[in-house]
Amino acid sequence: MSNGDILSERALRAECSYEITGVRECLQEKQRASEANLKHAEKQAGASLDKWDEDPRYVKAAKARLVASRKPFIEYREAQCAFASSLGGGAIGNALEEQRLACVAELNNTRAEQLREAVSDLPVK
């Protein structure tokens, strides 16, 4: 998935609005898929760092920072998606949850692409 392929929160909701199974169920699936995409990108980034042709101390530092970046990303995602959900105002709970799910999916997919891009051109051993 390249950055041009990452659907925005709004585009995800629009795409799911045509699903017979229901918007919420569709967005839950998109959120689950984005979690898998992010996990895979994190593993790929770690594997790329293992193959990086660099002094081991720099490899170790980069891997530690990759791991350390996960928690702040999750905190940011939770705060940002709570904000996005709050923009639904007085909408019913289902609509607010749909906004949150779409936000999580968008941010997970964006983060996955950022990780792939970050390690894409590292020289290998």
CATH code of the domain covering residue 47: 1.20.1270.180
For residue 124, is it within any domain?
no
Share of the chain above pLDDT 70, in %: 96
Query: Can you give the pLDDT at residue 58?
Result: 97
Q: What is the CA radius of gyration of the chain?
A: 17
Residues 43-101 have pLDDT tens digits of 999 999 999 999 999 999 999 999 999 999 999 999 999 999 998 888 777 888 999 99
Rounded distance, CA 99 to CA 71, Å?
A: 22
For residue 100, is it within any domain?
yes
Q: What is the mean pLDDT of the chain?
A: 93
Q: Give the range of the structural domain holding residue 24, as residue numbers without chain letter.
A: 3-119
Greater confidence (25 vs 89) lies with 25
For residue 26, is it within any domain?
yes
For residue 28, is it within any domain?
yes
Please give the tally of structural domains in the chain.
1
For residue 91, is it within any domain?
yes
- Give yes or no for residue 3 having a pLDDT over 60: no
- Give yes or no for residue 39 having a pLDDT over 90: yes
For residue 7, is it within any domain?
yes
For residue 125, is it within any domain?
no
Task: Please check whether residue 97 is in contact with residue 22, taking contact to mean a CB–CB distance below 8 angstroms.
Answer: no
pTM value > 0.85: yes
**2 φ/ψ sector (left φ>0, alpha ψ -120 to 50, else beta):** beta
Query: Can you give the pLDDT at residue 5?
Result: 82
